[in-house]
Amino acid sequence: MRTLTGISLNAGYAEGPIFVFRPEMPVAPPRTAISASEVPAEVRTFRASLAQTRSDLELVQEKFAGNIDDVAIRNVFHAHIHLLTDPAWIDDIERCIRDERITAAAAVHEVTEQWAQRFARMENPYLAERAIDLRDVSRRVLIALEPACVLPIANLAHPSIVVARSVMPSDMVHLDRANTLAIVTEEGGVADHVAIVTRSMGIPGITGVKDVAEKVHTGERAIIDGKEGKLLVAVSKTASRRYHALARRREAERQALEALRDVLAQTKDGHRVRLCANIGDVNDAKLVPAMGAEEVGLFRTELAFLTAQRHPSEVQQLATYRAMAKAAGPVPLTIRTLDLGGDKMLAYDQEPLSESNPLLGRRGIRRSLAEPRTFRRQLRALLRLGAEHDVRVLLPMVVSVSDVVRAREQIAIAADELYRAGHEHRPNLPVGAMIETPSAVLIIDELLPHVDFLSVGTNDLIQYLLVADRTAAAVRDHYTLFHPAVLRALHLVAQAARTAQTPLTLCGELAGFGDMTPLLLGLGFTTLSMAPHEIPVVKRHLAQIRLADAEALAHQTLRLSLRRPVADEARGEVAPSRPAPPPSLGQSGAPAVQTHL
């Protein structure tokens, strides 16, 4: 038996034969020269190929339009349509046709490779991964220009573990979903499109397995352990029995956790803790009552924008929010305003490619305030929803008091617009700030008088404090809760909120890790918001700890961190409650798109 190790994309177990997927990229078209008189026709041919490619992509989108489970796949194609309309890329190709006097196919290939190499050299992981998307789009255009370039698509005759050096995002659509047990690749990142789609499909996934397509062969029997990031090849009967037994235990554990749905969330000594759900689509919302969440602690509103062809209208947004509220049941809703920028781009928006470092560009509330008409359109929908449901408005990426003040001004204007239009609404919705930037932590005392509640977004807060991209495997050891800066920041916010008697929620991946619960509780967080399916796990951990012990652990960890940069160096003193690194960094199964991005 051989064991190949990589980075986890999604937890789970699967056993079956391997199918090695080797998509043959179109051969680079010849650099065929054309005459000056042929240039206009060649440009027209290129433009026609763009139109054909876009039409093909839109047909694929329609295929998934009725299935919310495939939203990640649809997002892939929105991103590709965006690239097809990028004026800089198109202009470079047409200029190449005119100046170099070569065919459209040759120009598409040359310009795309220049762009892709430029993206691949960038240190920003998001932009580096755009090289994959760009080559994928280019391949589609080449197919439209030269149909002989069509590549063979995986044809799964039976359930299989798909192994490949890399899988283009659009190839994921053509894989036989019913027969794809798992996906293992050599190239890719834990935040790229392939990873997102893998999680959307709900199957185990691993990436970063060196030379995997050369080390295994089609037909070999294998087991994938998505949680541990392992592919076991040529497994013995003993190993197979062991993994089957482990899978059965996991299923029994899942059923036991489901039984905790209606059990009150509290510590062993009776201290109540509120457990809330992070949601992004209707499927998530349906899990709110199913998993026993007391409220929606974070409702991400980006989905309605990411899956649209243009900015959703006020009426469209209101319909989406009503559907989510209905699915979640009669619980309070904390709704985050649009958090675009960084690694979330719109198919109909040019901005992501115009910023050299999107993660430090116009993100969150900064972008909303720069586009007040779009912002107020969303605010009007939220104020109207507030007349029907218990709603709170959460502002993302706050860095200053003026962010909150200006946002409140826009809320007041939106309320006045609704009043003049005669729409029923609630003008005075509670307004809170996401604490996910170092600046927000440092001015927490100044922010508190201007907000009704606070939510700490640990994902971004940790990566900005430690300058460690949470999706990058190369720095995963640096992305840790136990750095003194992170612990002090969380403790500072919790103490300030307690003193001001301001409601405080902790969101992000860390809230859902049961092993993390004692430390977070000890730091002062008594309301936690997480992926719905993590709620029973955290509820079980709460029932096993006492508040005094949790506070003692937090005090001990804070003290240790003053001497050492990371608690890993003091594992002997904090090991009983020291959690594993977050799964988004590849140490265990990554949750399905439940991240504060």
Distance between CA atoms of residues 518 and 511, nearest Å: 11
Q: What is the pLDDT of residues 233-275, one digit of tens each?
A: 988 888 888 888 887 887 787 778 777 888 999 999 999 999 9
Q: State residue 352's pLDDT score.
A: 45
- Give catalytic status of residue 276 as yes or no: no
pLDDT at 580 (0 to 100):
37
Contact 135, 143 (CB under 8 A): no
pLDDT score at 69: 43
Instruction: State pLDDT tens for residues 38-63.
Output: 999 999 999 999 988 888 777 666 65
More reliable by pLDDT, 198 or 230: 230
Query: Among the options 78, 82, 109, 193, which is catalytic?
Result: 193
Is residue 507 among the annotated active site residues?
yes
Higher pLDDT, 433 or 469: 433
Which domains, and CATH codes, for the chain? 2-6+9-23+152-255 (3.50.30.10), 36-149 (1.10.274.10), 259-272+453-588 (3.20.20.60), 295-448 (3.20.20.60)
Tell me what pLDDT residue 63 has.
54
Band of the pLDDT at 588, cuts 50, 70, 90? very low
Show the tokens assigned to 422.
């005669």
Asked if residue 494 lies in contact with residue 504, where contact means CB atoms within 8 angstroms, the answer is yes
| Percent of the chain scoring above 70 in pLDDT | 77
Is the pLDDT reported for residue 289 higher than 50? Answer: yes
**Whether 77 contacts 57, CB under 8 Å:** yes
Cα(256)–Cα(347) distance, integer angstroms:
43
Q: Global pTM?
A: 0.65
Of 507, 533, 541, 596, which one is the catalytic site residue? 507
In this structure, what is the dihedral angle of CA atoms 415, 416, 422, 426, given to the nearest 10 degrees?
30
Q: Is the pLDDT at 186 greater than 90, yes or no?
A: no
